[in-house]
Amino acid sequence: MSLLVVFLVTLLIGQALSIGAGLLVERHTTPYTGLITFIVSYFAVFWLAWMFAVRITAPGSRFGSRLARAESDPPTSA
Per-residue pLDDT of 6-56, as tens digits, reads 999 999 999 999 999 999 999 999 999 999 999 999 999 999 999 999 999
Range of the domain at 61: 2-71
pLDDT of residue 59: 80
pTM: 0.73
Residue 39 counted as domain residue: yes
Domain-embedded: residue 76: no
Q: Tell me how many domains the chain contains.
A: 1
Residue 78 falls inside a structural domain: no
How far apart CA 70 and CA 57 sit, in angstroms, is 12
